[in-house]
Amino acid sequence: MKLGTRSTHPNWALIHKELRRKGVTRKLLWIEYKEEDPDFYSYSQFCEFYNRWSGKLNPMMRINHKAGEKLFVDYAGLTMVYTNALTGEEKKAYVFVAALGASSRIYAEAQISQALNSWIGGHVRAFEYFGGVTEILVPDNTKTGVTSPCFYEPAINPTYHEMSKHYNTAVIPTRVRHPKDKAKVECGVQVVEYWVIAPLRNRQFFSIEEINQAIKVKLEELNARKMRHLEKSRNELFEELDKPALRPLPERPFELAEWKRAKVGIDYHVEFNRHYYSVPYTLIQKNVDIRATDHIVEVFYNTKRVSSHKRDDTPGRYSTHPEHMPESHRQYTEWNPERFIRWAEKSGSTTAQMVKAILSSRRHREQGYRSSLGLMRMETRYGKDRLEAACKRALLFGLHSYKGVKNILEPGLDKVPLDEPVITESKTHPNIRGTKYYS
């Protein structure tokens, strides 16, 4: 490798490229240069002339980022537009940009928003595009990835942090009020705006997919174009520098998970997306962390997983594990309409009809459990025959409740003969189930 001769001067472009390799320093390159031409430049002259040469480069090329070390990510300032083919409504598309530090190779894609799922998805697809992972991710303190920008210890979004762990990389946001930290991604964004977004400004698109197909073509042209001064394309530098140094992709891509902080209610359930999931009852009034993917909802207390449920987005419903309940509550879960109806049938068909009527007349079936339990206890006190007779009279007069049957038994009205046929169907109401519901 010839770094230069007395007649041609040092090959500054080659030296600049070599400095991007891990472990390579100016001192080392000067020593190698001196071996080729020992009487030309001193070390101080070598550095001075290199600085003059590199000063002509744009900021993105000037800083010597090591191969495979950093991936800079941000959103372009310019947006694109696509039209809803059915309504004619125009919508914005936001362009996610990722630029490798050493080779400056760029990935870009259009997204429907800058929300967390789009932000994370952009990273996953960028890693796949490059075929590997860098040691460090450098976002520009965007609110999506950095929840609290701080000079010393910026707070990273939990999902973003989890994604970085999955890919064995570290998130180090650019420092606040340090423009040099942002040079690579800002120049990458600028290049995308000049060579990708602007050339597509007059094209009409009808979906995000159409935009991304067009971006893909422009992106390949951009990465294949030779860069001035370096005389090599981003693709060529990528093959020489970044590609061999990237960390391998994991076996499976990251699955997006949403995190939420919640307080356990007095019913030992936590709410996520208007659905309620149980946790051990000993955590009542404790603060927990909820992690939800498309398929599973997990709950963590002090970083330890305490609950796991299959995701259910049915609003207002409960997903409950029996082992999370106190013993007294577990017994309650064994109650169900079929159990009460089977018991009532042992007393008689009319008692069974009364239980069905009680259950079907309540807005929620659990509201009829206590009334049914009351009937069970009255059988012990008054006997099956009297309970049958009392239920028969209560049904005749449309009394579908524990109190109705009790008010017949206590004064002995069940012993008064009935000459009229018994009406067994309950009254209808739009919010009430029919008596046949539990048949």
pLDDT at res. 272? 94
Residue 96 exposure: Cα atoms within 13 Å on the Cβ side:
25
pLDDT at res. 205? 95
Position with higher pLDDT, 183 vs 260: 260
CA neighbor of 118 nearest in space, from 142, 150, 82: 142
| 108-150 confidence digits (pLDDT tens) | 999 999 988 899 999 999 999 999 999 999 987 566 656 544 4
The 3-state DSSP class for residue 111 equals strand
Q: Is 383 left (phi over 0), alpha (psi -120 to 50) or beta?
A: left
CA neighbor of 134 nearest in space, from 246, 236, 282: 246
What integer is the mean pLDDT of 190-207? 90
Pairing of strands 304-310, 296-301: antiparallel
**E strand or H helix that includes residue 301:** strand 296-301
pLDDT at res. 366? 58
Position with higher pLDDT, 180 vs 43: 43
Distance separating alpha carbons of residues 186 and 208, to the nearest angstrom = 24
pLDDT at res. 250? 94
pLDDT at res. 179? 47
CA neighbor of 127 nearest in space, from 246, 297, 7: 246
pLDDT at res. 347? 86
Q: Is the dihedral of CA 230, 231, 235, 236 positive or negative?
A: negative
Write down the H helix ranges in 88-207: 116-130, 158-166, 183-192
Which of 65-74, 111-120, 171-180, 284-293 bottoms out in mean pLDDT, i.e. has the lowest? 171-180
Chain-wide mean pLDDT for the chain?
81
Distances 111 to 82, 93, 220 between C-alpha atoms, Å: 11, 5, 19
* Cα angle for residues 35, 38, 42 (degrees, 5° grid): 110
What integer is the mean pLDDT of 89-110? 93
177 pLDDT higher than 70: no
pTM of the entire predicted model: 0.55
402 pLDDT higher than 50: yes
CB 435 within 8 A of CB 424: yes
pLDDT at res. 248? 95
416 pLDDT higher than 80: yes
The alpha carbon of residue 39 and the mean position of all alpha carbons in its chain are separated, in whole angstroms, by 62
Q: Encoding tokens for residue 243? A: 């590609």
Distance separating alpha carbons of residues 270 and 277, to the nearest angstrom = 5
Question: Per DSSP, what are the bridge partners of residue 319?
Answer: 277
271 pLDDT higher than 60: yes
Dihedral angle computed from the Cα positions of residues 369, 373, 378 and 380, in that order, rounded to the nearest 10 degrees:
150
214 pLDDT higher than 60: yes
Distance separating alpha carbons of residues 259 and 159, to the nearest angstrom = 7
Q: What are phi and psi of 143, to 5 degrees?
A: -65, -25
**E strand or H helix that includes residue 70:** strand 70-83
The alpha carbon of residue 156 and the mean position of all alpha carbons in its chain are separated, in whole angstroms, by 14
Position with higher pLDDT, 77 vs 4: 77
Distance separating alpha carbons of residues 215 and 185, to the nearest angstrom = 18
| 316-367 confidence digits (pLDDT tens) | 888 989 888 887 665 555 667 887 888 888 888 999 999 999 888 876 565 6
pLDDT at res. 100? 92
Q: Encoding tokens for residue 184? A: 């690579």
Of the pLDDT bands very low, low, confident and very high (cuts 50, 70, 90), residue 425 is: very low
pLDDT at res. 194? 86
Q: How many CB atoms lie within 10 A of CB 224?
A: 11
Q: Please state, for a pLDDT cut of 70, what percent of the chain lies above it.
A: 77
Of the pLDDT bands very low, low, confident and very high (cuts 50, 70, 90), residue 16 is: confident
All domains in the chain, ordered by first residue: 4-56 (no CATH), 70-245 (3.30.420.10), 258-332 (no CATH), 335-438 (no CATH)
For the chain, first and last CA: distance in Å?
A: 89
Distance separating alpha carbons of residues 220 and 98, to the nearest angstrom = 14
208 pLDDT higher than 70: yes
Strand runs labelled E in 175-286: 226-227, 232-233, 258-263, 269-272, 275-278
User: In the chain, what are the helix, strand and coil shares in percent, each to the nearest 5?
Assistant: 45, 20, 35
- Token pair 């009364």 is at which residue? 354
Q: How many residues belong to the chain?
A: 439
pLDDT at res. 183? 60
Which of 128-137, 178-187, 250-259 bottoms out in mean pLDDT, i.e. has the lowest? 178-187
pLDDT at res. 147? 55
pLDDT at res. 424? 42
Highest mean pLDDT among 22-36, 258-272, 298-312, 335-349: 298-312
| Class of residue 145 by CB neighbours under 10 A (exposed 0-12, middle 13-18, buried 19+) | buried
Of the pLDDT bands very low, low, confident and very high (cuts 50, 70, 90), residue 84 is: confident
The alpha carbon of residue 77 and the mean position of all alpha carbons in its chain are separated, in whole angstroms, by 25
